[in-house]
Structure 1
Amino acid sequence: MKKFGMVLTSLLLVAGLVTGCGSTPAAPEKSGGGLPADVQAIKDRGVLKVGVKVDVPKFGYKDPKSDVVDGYEIDLAKAISKKILGTEKIETTAVTAKTRGPLVDSGDVDLVIATFTVTEERKKSYNFSDSYFTDGVKLMVKKDSGIKGLKDLNGKKIGVAQSATSKKAIQEAADKIGSKITFLEFSTYPEIKTALDSGRVDCFSVDGSILFGYLDDSTVILDDSFSPQDYGVASKKGNDGLAKTVNDTIAELKASGELDKMIQKWGLK
């Protein structure tokens, strides 16, 4: 009888091990407050890490005198931080169109809020929120250039940002009207504006709201507009709890009218 009891105990232990090795994954761990693990990690850290632009006036711009980064997207980052942490505590990292994706991939930033246009191709690599701003690709030229539209850029050079969607949008539009154009790619927007001023390029092309920040007495933004650009907050694939929190925050800001107030605050259309 004693031997039988030992055998029975062994069978029960084996059964327990088999049950624990089932194919159904365990539910993600949540905090006492029921937060997803990726959101809880940010809460435990006490700061939201965000990749932002520092060279786009009104969206994300670093004041050279104060070193303060401010703009519409900074305000949005603070609103998301308040949703997660209860405070507007953010740690910003300067990004460009070329670096913002890799910084999400590496985990150096939790979110990228940096005039990041949502495309079907990009959605394969990142979680994107619903749009918080919609713009269109436009063209800036020198006032004395005589250029009135895309057709006048036939045989000309257009300056665009590396890895931005502007190049594709303008190329497609140029192909439709038979214009032969070439592109020069730059790391930052100030570099493109300098190239336009010096005559290295004949046109500076990016989203209209970004161009507006570089408009001066010597330049003009043309009426032409191409390929509507929806900006979304990007997060790493798999961080679905964070993505949902971001989307919920944007939905609440839209419903309350706060998002429109932010847009108005920064003089954006």
Structure 2
Amino acid sequence: MLTRRMFIQTSAVALASLALGSGLAGCAPDPNVLRVGTKIDVPAFGFQNPETGNVEGMEVDIARELAKRIKGSPDALQVTGVNVTTRGAMLDNGTLDATLATFTITEARKKSYNFSRPYYTDHIGVLVKKSSGITDLRALDGKTVGVALSATTREKLTAAGDELGIHMNFAEYSTYPEIKIALVTGRVDAFSVDRSILNGYVDDSTMLLNTQFAPQEYGVATKKSNVELANQIDAAIGAMQEDGTLRALEERWGLVDDAPAGDSGSSDNSGAAEGGAAHA
């Protein structure tokens, strides 16, 4: 059942996204400010805290560090909420300078945007209700899986299903809270996206399957024509890797996942996550 609290938090996230994005319309960009799009519905990466209204997470902290290294101050930053359907469009129309929004680097996307070197590597995972009886990918045969629009998840999960000789149906949604609600209300049988994102949606009634596959490398995306900024961001990310900044941020936000890779058909889910995420 969709609880009142869940409804309020989901509504707040949706309204915050509109509010964060609307303030930039029609304004000339300040060359001394880095305009970055981040998620606001992904705990530990970019999440609108319903109690404080602040957007917080590893990608927000990386954006601050980029502003510090490129613009001279961590406060020379303007954060705008984006989702899987707006993060690219807002680069295209010039509203944003860059996006740090769990944006997986692919060859197809490189044709449209510049990407920095990866700042985080994730794997696709699957979240199910504990009462569903689903313990591995094979059990998803004939089931409906909720995925995000414009994400790589559907393609990767279909490929994994083909290897196992199973078929899954898919339902696509614009935001992750929508998929979680669809799972809770029974409109989908599973919620699939990158594991670290799913960690923020685990509760007492759900669990992560104890498998991970299809590595997903996240990069900072910039407009294809803005080569100078792309080079600055790539160099800054490289420096953050070398000086330990990225590793420290991963640890701060609990983004180290030790689940075993592969074994997608195994029925052993003894290590599946069964608690709330550390930074929900």
- Do they fold alike, i.e. is TM over 0.5? yes
The residue number in structure 2 matching 1:85 is: 71
Report the alpha carbon displacement of residue 46 of structure 1 after superposing the two structures with TM: 2.4
Residue 229 of structure 1 corresponds to 216
Please give the alpha-carbon distance, in whole angstroms, between the structure 2 residues aligned to 1:258 and 1:99.
28
* Whole-angstrom distance in 1 between the partners of 2:117 and 2:158: 27
Match in the other structure for 1:69: 55
User: 1:151 aligns to what?
Assistant: 138
2:31 & 2:232 partners in 1: Cα distance? 17
Runs of 4+ residues over 4 Å off in structure 1: none
> What is the rounded CA distance, in whole Å, between the counterparts of 1:167 and 1:183 in structure 2?
7
Task: Write the mapping of 1:1-269 to structure 2, written as runs, cut at 5 A.
Answer: 45-88=31-74, 89-269=76-256
* Distance in structure 2 (CA, Å) of the matches to 1:224 and 1:171: 15
Q: Which one-letter code corresponds to 1:266 in the other structure? A: W
Q: Once the 2 structures are TM-superposed, how far is the Cα of residue 186 of structure 1 from its aligned partner?
A: 0.6
Give unmatched runs, 5+ long, in structure 1. Answer: 1-40
- Matches of 2:253 and 2:163 in 1, distance apart? 35
Cα offset, 1:84, TM superposition? 1.7
More helix by share: 1
What residue identity is the alignment partner of 1:243?
A
Alpha-carbon distance, 1:45 to partner:
2.8
State the superposition RMSD in angstroms.
1.2
The code of the aligned residue for 1:157 comes to T
Letter in 1 for 2:240: L
1:70 alignment partner AA: E
Deviations 1:174-203 (A, max 9, x none): 112121110000111011001101110000
CA radius of gyration, larger in: 1
Deviation (angstroms), 1:90: 1.2
Distance 2:163 2:154 in 1: 14
Question: Partner of 1:135: helix, strand, or coil?
Answer: strand
Query: Structure 1 length normalisation: TM-score?
Result: 0.83
Instruction: Tell me the distance in 1 between the aligned counterparts of 2:129 and 2:183.
Output: 8
Deviation, 1:247, is 0.7
Q: Which residues of structure 2 form unaligned runs of 5+?
A: 1-27, 257-280
Structure 2 length-normalised TM: 0.80
User: How far did 1:224 drift?
Assistant: 2.3
Amino acid in the other structure paired with 1:206: V
Match of 1:179, SS state, is: coil
- Give, as a single letter, the amino acid of the residue that structure 1 aligns with 2:55: V
Percent of matched pairs sharing the same residue: 49
Secondary structure of the structure 2 residue equivalent to 1:100: coil
Q: Distance in 2 between matches of 1:169 and 1:239?
A: 30
Q: How many pairs were matched up?
A: 228
